[in-house]
Amino acid sequence: MQGIYIHIPFCKQACTYCDFHFSTLLKNKTEVVDAICKEIELRKGYLETKNINSIYFGGGTPSLLDKNELGRIFEALRKYFTWDKSAEITLECNPDDLSSEKLDELKAFGINRLSIGLQSFNDEELKWMNRAHNAKESEACIKLAQDKGFGNITIDLMYGSKFQSLESWEKTLLKALSLNVQHISSYNLTVENKTALGISVAKGLEPNVDDEKSSQQFLLMAELLEKNGFVHYEISNFGKPDFFAVHNSNYWKGAKYIGIGPSAHSYNGKERQWNIANNSSYAKAISYNLPYFEIETLTPDNRYNEYILTGLRTIWGCDLNFIEENFGRSFAEHFEKKIKNYLPEFVTENNSVYVLTKKGRLFADKIAGELFV
């Protein structure tokens, strides 16, 4: 199991809360796509084999790529990698880009999973987020994509904003359920310092996120989605059986992946590396054969901590035997001693596999922090 992530670092406009790497200056899109195609060639030997089971176009807004740009990236991928029909090929998109023609193009390229950034069904909230679409467009694009035969659609929703009461969040979730999508990713609004929202909060112009309200919204979401056939398989992710995200599950299970494009991260089991998070510096470095990434060799401590952080967030949990086999007896002893403090209220144990309870999910990062070495 190994995959390729391709970061498309362009957006029409900046959402107020977003701290991903992107630029709203689209003028060097061709230059960056050229560099992405060249990087695919440069990285052809990074994984153990050429066969992959997932390709994920993330961003930024990959649906801003035109037919020619996407075609060039696929051409480079096909030259150096192989995948079969069962591979998951996801493209993140925004509702305002999903015209009938666009959806036909995506389908023709073999994209079989759409990740649509809806965020909210409330126009006032979407405006506050500075999203480029409205609620009507969100609903319409999902129906259109389904009519075009996309049978694996995930949507992003955000909770925790000042606009949301428990009642309005429930309405949003019911609306999402009525659209018959296969997967929902839902994140608590996080106020990041350098974003427009972060600056407004620091100046006292906007309220910070109310953690108590967010916790209630999280619990309501888990209950409602599980009642409607979704499996809560990762803290922020819910999927119908057979529709868990292959690409993200690979990350959570420690599989190897290549990250292509500005700011993208890669992992080969021993090292992590991350590309320059600046579009023109990345493109120049690639075209002049200059260094375009930094690299870190992971220590056993790093690898153990990552296993705990990601594993604990999933329904697959953390396996004591795996820890002993992969990191050694002392790590297993440390883990066992610490995790016992959380039984049975926050963590359950079955055959030496430890999984968070519903209540424990609210404190996943805190519990993981206690288990770190």
7 is written with which tokens?
A: 């970061």
Query: How far, in whole angstroms, is CA 14 from its chain's centroid?
Result: 18
Least gap, CB of 61 to ligand SF4 (angstroms): 5
- The answer for residues whose C-beta is within 8 angstroms of residue 179's C-beta and 6 or more apart is 139, 142, 143, 155
Least gap, CB of 129 to ligand SF4 (angstroms): 8
Least gap, CB of 92 to ligand SF4 (angstroms): 8
Least gap, CB of 13 to ligand SF4 (angstroms): 7
- Identify whether the C-beta of residue 174 lies closer than 8 Å to the C-beta of residue 134: no
| Pick 23 or 250: Cβ nearer ligand SF4 | 23
Kindly tell me the sign of the dihedral angle through the C-alpha atoms of 15, 20, 25, 26.
Answer: negative
Binding site for ligand SF4 (CB under 6 A): 11, 14-15, 18, 20, 22, 59-61, 94, 117
SS3 309: helix
Least gap, CB of 221 to ligand SF4 (angstroms): 20
Phi, psi at residue 371, to the nearest 5°?
Answer: -90, -10
Between CA 16 and CA 242 the distance in angstroms is: 34
SS3 196: helix
Give the H or E element holding residue 371.
helix 364-371
Least gap, CB of 8 to ligand SF4 (angstroms): 9
- The answer for residues whose C-beta is within 8 angstroms of residue 272's C-beta and 6 or more apart is 265, 266, 295, 296, 298
Least gap, CB of 5 to ligand SF4 (angstroms): 14
Computed on alpha carbons and rounded to an integer, the radius of gyration of the chain in Å comes to: 21
Nearest to 59 by CA among 117, 120, 1, 102: 117
Crossing angle for the helix pair 29-42 and 279-287, to the nearest 10 degrees = 50
- Which residue's structure tokens are 């075609």? 71
Residue-wise burial string across 233-269, b where 16 or more C-beta atoms lie within 10 A, e elsewhere: bbbbbbbbeebbbbbbbbbbebbbbbbbbbbbebbee
| Pick 32 or 339: Cβ nearer ligand SF4 | 32
| Pick 12 or 67: Cβ nearer ligand SF4 | 12
The length of the chain in residues reads 373
Give the H or E element holding residue 167.
helix 166-178
| Pick 96 or 170: Cβ nearer ligand SF4 | 96
Least gap, CB of 118 to ligand SF4 (angstroms): 11
| Pick 50 or 127: Cβ nearer ligand SF4 | 127
Least gap, CB of 21 to ligand SF4 (angstroms): 8
| Pick 190 or 280: Cβ nearer ligand SF4 | 190
Phi, psi at residue 273, to the nearest 5°?
Answer: -140, 155
One-letter amino acid of 212? E
| Pick 275 or 314: Cβ nearer ligand SF4 | 275
Least gap, CB of 135 to ligand SF4 (angstroms): 16
| Pick 36 or 368: Cβ nearer ligand SF4 | 36
| Pick 20 or 363: Cβ nearer ligand SF4 | 20
Between CA 255 and CA 234 the distance in angstroms is: 16
Nearest to 45 by CA among 285, 193, 207, 256: 256
| Pick 57 or 327: Cβ nearer ligand SF4 | 57
